Each structure stands twice: as structure tokens, then as C-alpha cells.
Structure 1
Amino acid sequence: MKRIPFKLLPAAKDYLWGGSRLNDDFGLNVDISPFAEAWVCSTHSDGESQVPSLSCTLSELLSKEPEILGTHPLQTTQGRPELPILIKLIDAKSDLSVQVHPDDEYAKEHENGSLGKTEMWYVLDAKKDSSLVYGFRRDVDSDEVKRAIGNGSIGPLLNHVPIHKNDLFYIEAGTVHAIGAGALVAEIQESSNLTYRLYDYDRTDKNGNKRELHIDKALDVANLKSSAAPRQPMRTLRYSSGCASELLTRCKYFQVERLLLNTEVCRELVTFQTGVNSFHALLCVDGCGSISWDGEGSSSSLNFFKGDCIFVPAESEVLKLHGRAQILNVSC
């Protein structure tokens, strides 16, 4: 039986560096402040997406219908029906901590079998002076990094990279990094919430407490070699009637494609269908539109707006996309 798409509602995080743009720009209408992250497609126990049309979490649905994930090897390696990826919207009103994530091997051994975390950032917007941290400017060692953390001089050791709207960054596990103030980012990552903080600017939370650092674990997994500042990859738009598309990232964990939908003056709608190997998550990052399909003798449709994430099960019905929107199409 062919399956139909459904909308997800995000889990929300109020980390101290967040702002209000996820409500202001995306209309998510979540009653928290600051609103730092929206986990728009997640089965992680630290923040699960909801399926409002079925009154359940995405995890609960997958426990009943694991086949909607598809047959990709990543869907089965954990031995349970969970998403292998996690998709977020991030509003960095202030700098995020300088941090690093472990790889799968280290996480499995030291973090109770958890996945590690390789991730991709797509910059949705950035202030004129926004930047990010990507690795070290030169080779360093653990002792030097510890001293720099202790006296607050770690900044000059780090690569600070200016960022702009539509920039793309691939952050492998082990890369020391931080999103800078003024950035609005879509993040696609492994389904993991393991973050080892190296430095957090001596900030305190709403209770006056400094956030925990994980210096020893961070230095266990961090790449301490000099990292060349990342260059933007070559990207090629492919045009078809009503839509243009480009591949942003393809790795062993996920694939991300950007779709520029414009069928407002197009007689033929853009068609879309998933294969047997993977679900797709369609995150609308600009504009709006609708998805329609025919099934069991009748037609149905689902409207989407900026900030909405639509889960499309593996082996879906043939879908017709209509509207004017920018969409990130994520699959495994």
C-alpha cells in the first residue's frame, strides 16, 4: 500500500544563546523564551517530534510502522525503529559554545552505545558580521588548548570564518566548531545529542550557574591539526518545469537537496515520490505551497508554510507539489 505524507510539530529548546526568530520568522508559535532550537524532525529521546494528525510522537508511529523508514542500511543498524538523522532550525542570537562531537566509534564505547555526530549547516540568514568557528588556525596540542581555555585566550587559536546567507558547511565529527551570533541555520545531523563543550565564555544560565564543560572528552575526540578554512563547494542548479534543484550534501549519513519550487505560472505541477530505500523529510525554509495526491478514488492535499517539516514515508503515493517555496529535501 502506498503511503501519504504528514506534517510534524517540533520539539523546542530554550538554550541561553537563543533568540526569537524561530517564532518571528517561521511562525512556529512556541511559548518559550529564548527559543534557540526547533527539532523539526526527530525521534531522539531528548526531543521528539509530534505527528498531530495521528495524536502521537514520531517514535510511537515508527514502532507501529517501521517500514515507513525504508530499507536503507542506516535504518536498521540500531536494531530499533528510530530515525538515523535529526533536523533542526537554529537561531543563534548569541555565540554558541566552542564545542566538538565524537564519532560513532567513540560514542558507542564511551556514551552507552549512542551515535556520534557529523552534521551539515545550511545558512538561512546571517547578519553582516556573522561568523563561525571551524577548527584550529595551526597545529595545537592538548596542553596548549587547556591553558588557553583557562585564561580565556582560545579565540586566536581558532579559525573564524565569515558566513553569508545560502552558505553551506559540512562539519565532520571531531571538528571543533561554533555557530556565531546573528546566524539562522538549518542543521541536518546524525540522531545524537552528544556535545562536548570546550569553552563557553564564562556565561551563566538563568539560575546563575555556568554550563558544564567537557574538556577531557573534547580533547579525546578533537582534531588538533590545522584546519584550512572551508571553501564553499561548487553547486549546480538543475532546472525543470516549475522547479530547480541542487545537491547540497551527500555522505554516508544523509543526503540533502535544495528545491526551488515555483509552479505559480506552471500548468504542470512538480511530481515527487519516494523509493523503497528511504523516507524523505521536506523542510520548507521559505515561501509556502501544497502537496496533493490521489488515492482510493479521491484526492487529498496538505498545505505547508515556512518552518513546516513534512515527513514523506518510503514508497509514498505520487505527490504533486504546488507553490512558491524553498525546500530542503533530506533523505538517507
Structure 2
Amino acid sequence: MINKRECWIYKPFLLKPAVKDYLWGGQRLKEDFGKETDLELLAETWECSTHPDGPSRVASGIYRGKLLSEVLKEHPQYLGKNCEGLDELPILVKLIDANKDLSVQVHPDDEFAKYHENGMMGKTEMWYVVDAEKDAKLIYGFHHDIKQETLKNALTKGTVEKYLQKVKVKKDDVFFIKAGTVHALGAGILVAEVQENSNLTYRMYDYGRKDKNGKERKLHITKALEVAELKSSIEPRQPLRVLKYKRGMASELICRCKYFQVERHLLNTEECREMVAIQTEESSFKVILCLKGCGTLLFGKECINFFKGDCIFIPAKSIPIKMHGYAQMLMINC
């Protein structure tokens, strides 16, 4: 039980993301999602992150201005029982605007990262496609089994593209990218990404591009070859998704793995004129990422107005929450 005198600290709060200007980024996160930055290109916003390479900050409430990592170190109980013993987020939530093709890359699993990367976490991730241009594609594994030596030669000669499996992408698609899967987002795709709390990426091939200083970006071929799954990948099919309805809200589970669970929620209280209760849990925090529309989150006598692109952190054991508005959002927990 929460002491009533301590109840005030178990409240939701808005987050302000860290921003990244990788060379393949564009303008959509600024123009369509209201992200404020002086960066010329905006490739990624790390919406909910305690990773030192891009920590997000609290943007509302009593912790406003503090790093999320600082708040969770002070209050590790916000993470919930499933994260007992941790004082940082086990996940990272991003928005990604692939205005140009991303590099062909692969991520290590936890075991490899722990042994070879000083105890870091590996990186399994999922993408929810927020929008995609007509004929947009992503890379997902190989057409056929490939030998390590063949792959190495292809990477060296710049002929690897003929071995890669390209998959058509459309809005609302979901892709689960297990550690070890060779992959890349293609130009014209905007995704919400949920992943392990890791920034380990082994870049295999980058089309010979140069950065703003005129240098080719570093490749990590040796490590990539050690962790890459070289067997052919079945072209990913969209999972069966079942919408569940309650008054004012429809929801569906779009991804569940050992690291995180992601649901898509469609909020619409315009006709029913009632607020929708959001269940809070002792087992895990929740993260809400608004992808469309706007609404209001009410807790006690306080509220948070949220809009497209906003991200909200809800501590485990949070005080009761209700919501109203017209919005599409992802809800993430561990």
C-alpha cells in the first residue's frame, strides 16, 4: 500500500525527448509532430530514455527539468515489481523519420553484448509504422542462406544489396526485429520504435555515404558478422490483431516479448461524453506515446493535456487515471 502522505509522488508526467540529427533524417518530426529543435535535420527523438547517449527530461509536474534518469534513481519504485533491482528504464522509446535509407545494420543479443561490450544490453526492437510513402520498403534479413565469407566479400565489394530481403511497408504495419536480424528502414518511412535500453548498432553497409565532415561513417563488419543471423528470413507477415472495445476506447495488442509489451489504443470520448479509466499496475510503469489527435489525462485534481507527438510516463502504482479526447496512441510497459 502507498502511504497517503506519499501519494502525491505517484503521478504521471510529460517527457521532453533527446534529439538526433543523423544524416538520413528529415523535417517531419518538426513539422508534423511539433518537435522543437535548432537541428537542421531531425532523424530521431528519444521520447522516453534514460540512456546516457540521449536521456529525456521531465516536462511537467514537480520534477520538471530533471533528467528522467535522475528521477528514477531517486524513486526506483516507479518502475514496478517487474523491474525490481533496477534504477533505470529497461526500454527506450523513439520516433524515427527515415527521410533517406538507413544503413544496413545488426544488433547483438544480451549475451554477446554483456561479454563483448562491457556488460551492456543487447538490442531487440519493434517498429510501428506511423506513416509510409507509396512503395516504401525496409530490409529484413536475407533471401537465402548466406555463408559468412560470402557476406564479408559482398560487404567489402559493395554488392550486398542483391542478397538482402526487401519488404514493402504501409502505414499501421508492425515489425519485430529480434537481435541478430540484419535490417534497415528505407526512405519514406516514419516509425515509433520500442527497444531494449541499448545504443549498440553494428553498421554493415552505408552506401558509401559521407557525414557532414566529409568522412565515411564507421563500419563494424567484424562484430556484425559474429552476431548476424545468416539463415534466410521468412518475409515478415503482419500478426493477427484483434481490436477490443469498451466505451470510449478500442485497443489491440501489437507486440509482446520478454522485454516489453506494446498496445495500440484508439481513444474517442466525443460521443459517449465519458472519461475512460486507465488501469495502473504495481508490476510495471506505463509509457503513452500519442501518434495522432489530442486529449487530457486526469489524475486527482490535476491534468495533463497531450497532443500528437507527446510522451507521458506513468509510474507503477500511480494514482487513478482517467482520459478523454480523440487520439491514437501506443501504450508500453514491461
Q: TM over 0.5, yes or no?
A: yes
Query: Does structure 1 retain, via aligned residues, the 8 Å contact 2:131–2:189?
Result: yes
C-alpha separation between the residues in 2 aligned to 1:128 and 1:182?
Answer: 8
Matched, 1:64 2:70: no
Match of 2:11 among 4, 11, 31: 4
C-alpha separation between the residues in 1 aligned to 2:39 and 2:296?
Answer: 29
Runs of 4+ in 1 over 4 A off after TM superposition: none
Query: Does structure 2 retain, via aligned residues, the 8 Å contact 1:261–1:325?
Result: yes
Match of 2:26 among 9, 14, 19: 19
* Greater alpha carbon shift after TM alignment, 30-39 vs 171-180: 30-39
What residue in structure 1 maps to residue 230 of structure 2?
224
Query: Does structure 1 retain, via aligned residues, the 8 Å contact 2:100–2:188?
Result: yes
TM-score (norm 1): 0.96
Query: Does structure 1 retain, via aligned residues, the 8 Å contact 2:274–2:324?
Result: no
* Greater alpha carbon shift after TM alignment, 93-102 vs 45-54: 45-54
C-alpha separation between the residues in 1 aligned to 2:116 and 2:129?
Answer: 32
What residue in structure 1 maps to residue 131 of structure 2?
125
Shift of 1:80: 4.2
Shift of 1:268: 2.0
What residue in structure 2 maps to residue 330 of structure 1?
332
Query: Does structure 1 retain, via aligned residues, the 8 Å contact 2:128–2:192?
Result: yes
What residue in structure 2 maps to residue 170 of structure 1?
176
Residue identity matched to 2:57: Q
Structure 1: stretches of 5+ with no match in the other structure: none
Give the RMSD, CA atoms, in angstroms: 0.9
C-alpha separation between the residues in 1 aligned to 2:86 and 2:81?
Answer: 13
Query: Does structure 1 retain, via aligned residues, the 8 Å contact 2:124–2:177?
Result: yes
Aligned residues: 324
Residue deviations 1:245-285, cap 9 Å, x none?
00001110000000000001113211013111100000001
Match of 1:199 among 201, 205, 226: 205
C-alpha separation between the residues in 2 aligned to 1:285 and 1:251?
Answer: 22
What residue in structure 1 maps to residue 98 of structure 2?
92
Match of 2:55 among 26, 48, 52: 48
C-alpha separation between the residues in 2 aligned to 1:320 and 1:227?
Answer: 43
Residue identity matched to 1:273: Q
Residue deviations 1:154-197, cap 9 Å, x none?
11101000000000000000000000000000000000000001
Residue identity matched to 1:68: Y
TM-score (norm 2): 0.96
Structure 2: stretches of 5+ with no match in the other structure: none
Residue identity matched to 1:302: I
Alignment identity in percent? 59
Residue deviations 1:114-171, cap 9 Å, x none?
0000000000000002100000000101111111112221111010000000000000
Shift of 1:34: 1.0
